[in-house]
Amino acid sequence: MEIRSKVLPVLGPRGDDDDCEAVAECIKSGWWVNGPRVEEFENKFSKLVGSKYAIGVTSNTAGLDLIFKALDIKDCDVISPTMSFATTVGVPMWNNCTSRLADVDPINHNIDPEDVKKMIKSNTKAIICVNMAGIPAPIAEIRKFYNGLIIEDCAHSCYVDGAGLQGDIAVWSFQGVKTMPCGDGGMITTNCPGLNKKLRKLSWFGIDSTYSRDKDSGRFDNNTEKKKGYKWQYDIDILGYKAYMIDINASLCLSQLKKLDKNLERRRFIQQKYNDELKDVIEIPPYSHTVQYYCAKVKPENRDTLMEYLTSKNIHTSVHFRPLHTFTIFKQDRDFPVADKEWLKLITLPVHLNMTDEDIDYVIYWVKQFFEQLNN
Protein backbone atom coordinates (compact mmCIF):
# COMPACT_ATOMS: atom_id res chain seq x y z
CA MET A 1 0.00 0.00 0.00
CA GLU A 2 1.25 3.46 -0.87
CA ILE A 3 2.31 5.58 2.09
CA ARG A 4 0.00 8.54 2.60
CA SER A 5 1.48 12.02 2.24
CA LYS A 6 -0.56 13.62 5.03
CA VAL A 7 -0.21 12.66 8.66
CA LEU A 8 -3.16 10.83 10.22
CA PRO A 9 -3.50 12.25 13.76
CA VAL A 10 -4.23 9.97 16.70
CA LEU A 11 -6.92 12.34 17.98
CA GLY A 12 -8.67 15.43 16.69
CA PRO A 13 -11.92 17.42 16.57
CA ARG A 14 -14.32 17.72 13.68
CA GLY A 15 -16.42 20.79 13.03
CA ASP A 16 -18.92 21.50 10.27
CA ASP A 17 -20.98 24.35 8.87
CA ASP A 18 -23.56 23.98 11.63
CA ASP A 19 -20.84 24.58 14.23
CA CYS A 20 -19.60 27.64 12.37
CA GLU A 21 -23.11 29.03 12.06
CA ALA A 22 -23.83 28.47 15.76
CA VAL A 23 -20.71 30.39 16.80
CA ALA A 24 -21.36 33.12 14.21
CA GLU A 25 -24.92 33.61 15.50
CA CYS A 26 -23.59 33.98 19.02
CA ILE A 27 -21.01 36.56 17.93
CA LYS A 28 -23.63 38.53 15.99
CA SER A 29 -26.00 38.43 18.98
CA GLY A 30 -23.67 40.65 20.97
CA TRP A 31 -23.75 38.33 23.99
CA TRP A 32 -20.41 36.56 24.16
CA VAL A 33 -19.82 35.80 27.82
CA ASN A 34 -21.90 33.98 30.44
CA GLY A 35 -25.46 34.25 29.18
CA PRO A 36 -28.48 32.47 27.69
CA ARG A 37 -26.53 29.90 25.66
CA VAL A 38 -24.59 28.76 28.71
CA GLU A 39 -27.83 28.40 30.62
CA GLU A 40 -29.43 26.46 27.75
CA PHE A 41 -26.46 24.12 27.53
CA GLU A 42 -26.41 23.58 31.30
CA ASN A 43 -30.10 22.70 31.30
CA LYS A 44 -29.80 20.29 28.39
CA PHE A 45 -26.67 18.67 29.79
CA SER A 46 -28.15 18.12 33.25
CA LYS A 47 -31.20 16.44 31.70
CA LEU A 48 -28.97 14.33 29.47
CA VAL A 49 -26.88 12.91 32.30
CA GLY A 50 -29.70 12.81 34.87
CA SER A 51 -28.43 15.35 37.40
CA LYS A 52 -30.42 18.19 38.96
CA TYR A 53 -27.81 20.86 38.26
CA ALA A 54 -25.01 21.54 35.81
CA ILE A 55 -22.50 24.38 36.09
CA GLY A 56 -20.56 25.35 32.96
CA VAL A 57 -16.88 26.12 33.54
CA THR A 58 -13.77 26.86 31.49
CA SER A 59 -12.33 23.33 31.76
CA ASN A 60 -12.50 20.03 33.61
CA THR A 61 -9.44 21.17 35.57
CA ALA A 62 -11.07 24.44 36.63
CA GLY A 63 -14.20 22.51 37.60
CA LEU A 64 -12.26 20.08 39.77
CA ASP A 65 -10.47 22.96 41.49
CA LEU A 66 -13.78 24.73 42.16
CA ILE A 67 -15.11 21.55 43.77
CA PHE A 68 -12.12 21.53 46.11
CA LYS A 69 -12.72 25.18 46.96
CA ALA A 70 -16.48 24.80 47.46
CA LEU A 71 -16.11 21.77 49.74
CA ASP A 72 -13.08 23.15 51.59
CA ILE A 73 -10.88 20.21 50.63
CA LYS A 74 -7.43 21.26 51.78
CA ASP A 75 -4.61 20.17 54.08
CA CYS A 76 -5.64 16.51 53.82
CA ASP A 77 -5.02 13.30 51.87
CA VAL A 78 -6.66 12.83 48.47
CA ILE A 79 -6.48 9.51 46.60
CA SER A 80 -6.56 9.28 42.79
CA PRO A 81 -5.39 6.74 40.16
CA THR A 82 -1.87 6.81 38.81
CA MET A 83 -3.17 6.13 35.29
CA SER A 84 -4.65 9.54 34.56
CA PHE A 85 -3.83 13.02 33.31
CA ALA A 86 -1.94 15.43 35.59
CA THR A 87 -5.14 17.26 36.57
CA THR A 88 -6.24 14.60 39.06
CA VAL A 89 -3.00 14.81 41.03
CA GLY A 90 -2.23 18.47 40.37
CA VAL A 91 -5.48 19.99 41.64
CA PRO A 92 -5.13 18.41 45.11
CA MET A 93 -1.58 19.77 45.26
CA TRP A 94 -2.86 23.26 44.38
CA ASN A 95 -5.03 22.98 47.48
CA ASN A 96 -2.18 21.94 49.76
CA CYS A 97 -3.34 18.32 49.85
CA THR A 98 -1.17 15.23 49.81
CA SER A 99 -1.91 13.48 46.51
CA ARG A 100 -1.71 9.76 47.11
CA LEU A 101 -1.74 7.69 43.95
CA ALA A 102 -3.46 4.30 43.77
CA ASP A 103 -2.63 1.44 41.46
CA VAL A 104 -5.09 0.34 38.78
CA ASP A 105 -6.75 -2.87 37.66
CA PRO A 106 -4.96 -4.71 34.81
CA ILE A 107 -7.91 -4.71 32.39
CA ASN A 108 -9.73 -1.35 32.46
CA HIS A 109 -6.89 0.62 34.11
CA ASN A 110 -9.40 2.15 36.49
CA ILE A 111 -8.54 2.82 40.13
CA ASP A 112 -8.14 -0.43 42.07
CA PRO A 113 -10.53 -0.64 45.07
CA GLU A 114 -8.29 -3.10 46.93
CA ASP A 115 -5.34 -0.73 46.69
CA VAL A 116 -7.53 2.19 47.74
CA LYS A 117 -8.65 0.27 50.81
CA LYS A 118 -5.03 -0.05 51.98
CA MET A 119 -4.37 3.67 51.46
CA ILE A 120 -7.26 5.27 53.34
CA LYS A 121 -6.22 7.22 56.43
CA SER A 122 -8.11 9.22 59.03
CA ASN A 123 -7.41 12.44 57.10
CA THR A 124 -8.43 11.07 53.68
CA LYS A 125 -11.02 13.62 52.66
CA ALA A 126 -11.72 12.68 49.03
CA ILE A 127 -11.18 10.04 46.35
CA ILE A 128 -11.08 11.00 42.67
CA CYS A 129 -12.29 8.17 40.43
CA VAL A 130 -11.57 8.51 36.70
CA ASN A 131 -13.76 6.72 34.15
CA MET A 132 -10.78 5.58 32.11
CA ALA A 133 -11.50 5.69 28.36
CA GLY A 134 -15.16 6.15 29.34
CA ILE A 135 -15.36 2.84 31.20
CA PRO A 136 -17.09 3.41 34.58
CA ALA A 137 -14.78 3.39 37.59
CA PRO A 138 -15.62 0.84 40.34
CA ILE A 139 -17.22 3.41 42.63
CA ALA A 140 -19.78 0.93 43.99
CA GLU A 141 -16.93 -1.28 45.22
CA ILE A 142 -15.23 1.64 46.94
CA ARG A 143 -18.52 2.63 48.58
CA LYS A 144 -18.50 -0.69 50.46
CA PHE A 145 -15.66 0.48 52.67
CA TYR A 146 -15.47 4.28 52.21
CA ASN A 147 -18.24 6.71 53.14
CA GLY A 148 -16.38 9.92 52.35
CA LEU A 149 -16.48 12.17 49.30
CA ILE A 150 -16.04 10.55 45.88
CA ILE A 151 -15.49 12.86 42.91
CA GLU A 152 -16.27 11.20 39.58
CA ASP A 153 -13.98 12.43 36.81
CA CYS A 154 -15.96 12.04 33.59
CA ALA A 155 -13.40 13.66 31.26
CA HIS A 156 -13.54 10.55 29.05
CA SER A 157 -17.27 9.95 29.42
CA CYS A 158 -20.52 11.00 27.82
CA TYR A 159 -23.98 10.38 29.21
CA VAL A 160 -23.85 6.58 28.74
CA ASP A 161 -23.22 3.88 31.37
CA GLY A 162 -24.61 6.05 34.16
CA ALA A 163 -21.58 8.32 34.03
CA GLY A 164 -21.69 11.20 36.48
CA LEU A 165 -24.27 9.56 38.75
CA GLN A 166 -22.09 7.21 40.77
CA GLY A 167 -19.98 9.70 42.71
CA ASP A 168 -21.09 12.50 45.01
CA ILE A 169 -20.26 15.08 42.36
CA ALA A 170 -18.93 14.84 38.81
CA VAL A 171 -16.74 16.92 36.53
CA TRP A 172 -16.70 16.70 32.70
CA SER A 173 -14.54 17.84 29.79
CA PHE A 174 -15.26 19.26 26.32
CA GLN A 175 -11.60 19.80 25.45
CA GLY A 176 -10.64 19.77 21.78
CA VAL A 177 -10.02 16.02 21.41
CA LYS A 178 -12.73 14.68 23.71
CA THR A 179 -15.74 12.66 22.56
CA MET A 180 -17.73 15.89 22.40
CA PRO A 181 -15.02 18.40 21.42
CA CYS A 182 -15.87 22.07 21.91
CA GLY A 183 -12.43 23.69 21.85
CA ASP A 184 -12.37 23.54 25.63
CA GLY A 185 -14.77 23.91 28.50
CA GLY A 186 -16.08 21.70 31.25
CA MET A 187 -19.10 20.99 33.40
CA ILE A 188 -19.76 20.20 37.04
CA THR A 189 -22.88 18.16 37.78
CA THR A 190 -24.48 17.81 41.20
CA ASN A 191 -27.83 17.11 42.86
CA CYS A 192 -27.19 19.47 45.77
CA PRO A 193 -28.91 22.89 45.47
CA GLY A 194 -26.64 24.57 48.01
CA LEU A 195 -23.50 23.32 46.29
CA ASN A 196 -24.89 24.37 42.92
CA LYS A 197 -25.35 27.93 44.14
CA LYS A 198 -21.95 28.09 45.82
CA LEU A 199 -20.13 26.73 42.77
CA ARG A 200 -21.78 29.33 40.54
CA LYS A 201 -20.65 32.12 42.83
CA LEU A 202 -17.13 30.72 43.04
CA SER A 203 -16.91 30.51 39.24
CA TRP A 204 -17.52 34.29 39.01
CA PHE A 205 -15.36 35.75 41.77
CA GLY A 206 -17.98 35.25 44.46
CA ILE A 207 -20.48 37.59 42.78
CA ASP A 208 -24.05 36.51 43.49
CA SER A 209 -25.38 37.77 40.14
CA THR A 210 -25.04 40.53 37.57
CA TYR A 211 -28.07 39.66 35.46
CA SER A 212 -31.59 38.36 36.12
CA ARG A 213 -33.31 35.57 34.21
CA ASP A 214 -36.97 34.49 34.04
CA LYS A 215 -36.50 31.59 36.46
CA ASP A 216 -34.22 30.67 39.31
CA SER A 217 -31.37 28.60 37.93
CA GLY A 218 -29.08 29.26 40.86
CA ARG A 219 -27.66 32.36 39.18
CA PHE A 220 -29.52 34.89 41.31
CA ASP A 221 -31.76 35.25 44.34
CA ASN A 222 -35.45 35.61 43.46
CA ASN A 223 -36.05 37.35 46.79
CA THR A 224 -34.02 40.35 45.70
CA GLU A 225 -34.60 40.41 41.94
CA LYS A 226 -37.77 42.13 40.72
CA LYS A 227 -37.27 42.13 36.98
CA LYS A 228 -34.95 41.03 34.21
CA GLY A 229 -31.96 43.13 33.37
CA TYR A 230 -28.42 44.05 34.32
CA LYS A 231 -27.75 44.11 38.05
CA TRP A 232 -24.94 46.39 39.20
CA GLN A 233 -25.79 46.31 42.91
CA TYR A 234 -24.43 42.80 43.40
CA ASP A 235 -22.71 41.53 46.53
CA ILE A 236 -19.53 39.51 47.09
CA ASP A 237 -19.51 37.48 50.30
CA ILE A 238 -16.91 34.83 49.39
CA LEU A 239 -13.68 35.07 47.44
CA GLY A 240 -14.16 33.35 44.10
CA TYR A 241 -12.40 32.81 40.79
CA LYS A 242 -12.99 33.51 37.11
CA ALA A 243 -13.85 30.15 35.65
CA TYR A 244 -17.33 30.40 34.15
CA MET A 245 -18.16 29.10 30.66
CA ILE A 246 -18.93 31.77 28.05
CA ASP A 247 -21.67 31.83 25.42
CA ILE A 248 -19.27 31.52 22.48
CA ASN A 249 -18.04 28.23 23.93
CA ALA A 250 -21.58 27.14 24.83
CA SER A 251 -22.84 27.81 21.29
CA LEU A 252 -20.33 25.26 19.99
CA CYS A 253 -21.25 22.86 22.80
CA LEU A 254 -24.95 23.09 21.87
CA SER A 255 -24.16 22.41 18.22
CA GLN A 256 -21.95 19.42 19.06
CA LEU A 257 -24.57 18.08 21.45
CA LYS A 258 -27.09 17.76 18.62
CA LYS A 259 -24.89 15.25 16.78
CA LEU A 260 -23.44 13.46 19.78
CA ASP A 261 -25.35 10.21 19.27
CA LYS A 262 -24.40 10.04 15.60
CA ASN A 263 -20.75 10.76 16.43
CA LEU A 264 -20.71 8.08 19.11
CA GLU A 265 -21.98 5.56 16.57
CA ARG A 266 -19.05 6.39 14.30
CA ARG A 267 -16.54 6.03 17.11
CA ARG A 268 -18.01 2.64 18.01
CA PHE A 269 -17.81 1.60 14.36
CA ILE A 270 -14.08 2.37 14.28
CA GLN A 271 -13.60 0.50 17.56
CA GLN A 272 -15.43 -2.57 16.24
CA LYS A 273 -13.51 -2.53 12.96
CA TYR A 274 -10.20 -2.48 14.84
CA ASN A 275 -11.42 -5.26 17.14
CA ASP A 276 -12.50 -7.47 14.25
CA GLU A 277 -9.45 -6.92 12.07
CA LEU A 278 -6.65 -6.66 14.63
CA LYS A 279 -7.65 -9.11 17.36
CA ASP A 280 -5.07 -11.66 16.16
CA VAL A 281 -2.09 -9.29 16.39
CA ILE A 282 -2.89 -6.98 19.33
CA GLU A 283 -4.67 -7.24 22.66
CA ILE A 284 -7.84 -5.29 22.02
CA PRO A 285 -9.06 -2.93 24.78
CA PRO A 286 -12.24 -3.41 26.81
CA TYR A 287 -15.34 -2.28 24.96
CA SER A 288 -16.16 1.39 25.50
CA HIS A 289 -19.42 3.13 24.63
CA THR A 290 -17.65 6.48 24.27
CA VAL A 291 -14.37 5.34 22.65
CA GLN A 292 -12.50 8.39 23.90
CA TYR A 293 -9.30 6.45 23.24
CA TYR A 294 -8.52 3.11 21.62
CA CYS A 295 -5.87 1.83 24.04
CA ALA A 296 -4.60 -1.43 22.60
CA LYS A 297 -1.79 -3.54 24.06
CA VAL A 298 1.21 -5.23 22.52
CA LYS A 299 4.31 -6.84 24.00
CA PRO A 300 6.46 -4.20 25.71
CA GLU A 301 9.46 -5.02 23.53
CA ASN A 302 7.35 -4.26 20.43
CA ARG A 303 5.45 -1.17 21.57
CA ASP A 304 7.94 1.62 20.81
CA THR A 305 9.09 -0.08 17.63
CA LEU A 306 5.50 -0.31 16.40
CA MET A 307 4.93 3.35 17.18
CA GLU A 308 8.04 4.33 15.22
CA TYR A 309 7.00 2.07 12.34
CA LEU A 310 3.53 3.63 12.15
CA THR A 311 5.06 7.11 12.32
CA SER A 312 7.09 6.20 9.23
CA LYS A 313 3.76 5.50 7.52
CA ASN A 314 2.41 8.90 8.63
CA ILE A 315 0.19 7.39 11.31
CA HIS A 316 0.46 9.09 14.68
CA THR A 317 -0.11 7.09 17.86
CA SER A 318 0.17 7.82 21.57
CA VAL A 319 0.16 6.23 25.03
CA HIS A 320 -2.75 6.77 27.44
CA PHE A 321 -1.37 7.07 30.00
CA ARG A 322 2.14 7.15 31.30
CA PRO A 323 1.56 6.62 35.05
CA LEU A 324 1.71 9.81 37.06
CA HIS A 325 4.13 8.36 39.60
CA THR A 326 6.78 8.11 36.87
CA PHE A 327 6.92 11.92 36.55
CA THR A 328 9.54 13.63 38.68
CA ILE A 329 7.13 15.97 40.46
CA PHE A 330 4.59 13.24 41.26
CA LYS A 331 6.92 10.47 42.47
CA GLN A 332 5.58 8.32 45.32
CA ASP A 333 7.36 6.22 47.91
CA ARG A 334 5.60 2.96 47.04
CA ASP A 335 5.25 0.34 44.31
CA PHE A 336 2.69 0.18 41.50
CA PRO A 337 3.03 -3.40 40.21
CA VAL A 338 0.06 -3.30 37.82
CA ALA A 339 0.55 0.16 36.32
CA ASP A 340 4.31 -0.31 35.96
CA LYS A 341 3.72 -3.49 33.98
CA GLU A 342 0.67 -2.57 31.91
CA TRP A 343 1.54 0.91 30.68
CA LEU A 344 4.59 -0.42 28.82
CA LYS A 345 2.20 -2.38 26.58
CA LEU A 346 -0.13 0.50 25.73
CA ILE A 347 -0.49 2.06 22.30
CA THR A 348 -3.34 4.38 21.36
CA LEU A 349 -4.44 3.99 17.74
CA PRO A 350 -6.22 6.79 15.87
CA VAL A 351 -9.94 7.17 16.59
CA HIS A 352 -11.66 10.39 15.63
CA LEU A 353 -14.45 11.68 13.41
CA ASN A 354 -12.18 12.96 10.65
CA MET A 355 -11.21 9.38 9.77
CA THR A 356 -12.63 7.96 6.58
CA ASP A 357 -13.19 4.24 5.99
CA GLU A 358 -10.01 4.33 3.94
CA ASP A 359 -8.12 5.82 6.89
CA ILE A 360 -9.32 3.01 9.15
CA ASP A 361 -8.24 0.38 6.61
CA TYR A 362 -4.90 2.16 6.26
CA VAL A 363 -4.18 1.85 9.97
CA ILE A 364 -5.26 -1.80 10.02
CA TYR A 365 -3.09 -2.63 7.01
CA TRP A 366 0.12 -1.18 8.45
CA VAL A 367 -0.40 -2.63 11.92
CA LYS A 368 -0.80 -6.05 10.31
CA GLN A 369 2.22 -5.46 8.10
CA PHE A 370 4.36 -4.69 11.14
CA PHE A 371 3.54 -7.99 12.80
CA GLU A 372 3.88 -9.95 9.57
CA GLN A 373 7.39 -8.58 9.14
CA LEU A 374 8.12 -9.19 12.80
CA ASN A 375 7.21 -12.86 12.53
CA ASN A 376 9.09 -13.52 9.29
Mean pLDDT in residue range 337-350: 98
Question: Taking all residues of the chain, what is their mean pLDDT, rounded to a whole number?
Answer: 94
Mean pLDDT in residue range 54-71: 98
Q: Band of the pLDDT at 229, cuts 50, 70, 90? A: low
Mean pLDDT in residue range 132-136: 97
Mean pLDDT in residue range 91-100: 98
Mean pLDDT in residue range 131-141: 97
Q: What pLDDT, in 10s, does the model give residues 202-227?
A: 999 998 765 555 444 444 443 444 45
Mean pLDDT in residue range 278-298: 98
Q: Answer whether residue 280 shows pLDDT above 90.
A: yes
Domains of the chain: 17-257 (3.40.640.10), 260-375 (3.90.1150.10)
Q: Percent of the chain beyond pLDDT 70?
A: 94
> HEC profile for the chain?
CCCCCCCECCCCCCCCHHHHHHHHHHHHHCCCCCCHHHHHHHHHHHHHHCCCEEEEECCHHHHHHHHHHHCCCCCCEEEEECCCCCHHHHHHHHCCCEEEEECECCCCCCECHHHHHHHCCCCEEEEEEECHHHCCCCHHHHHCCCCCEEEEEECCCCCHHHCCCCCCEEEEECCCCCCCCCCCCEEEEECCHHHHHHHHHHHECCECCCEECCCCCCCCCCCCCCCCEECCCCCECCCCCECECCHHHHHHHHHHHHCHHHHHHHHHHHHHHHHHHHCCCCECCCCCCCCCCEEEECCHHHHHHHHHHHHHCCECCECCCCCHHHCHHHCCCCCCHHHHHHHHHEEEECCCCCCCHHHHHHHHHHHHHHHHHHHC
Q: Percent of the chain beyond pLDDT 90?
A: 92
pTM: 0.94
Q: What pLDDT, in 10s, does the model give residues 354-367?
A: 999 999 999 999 99
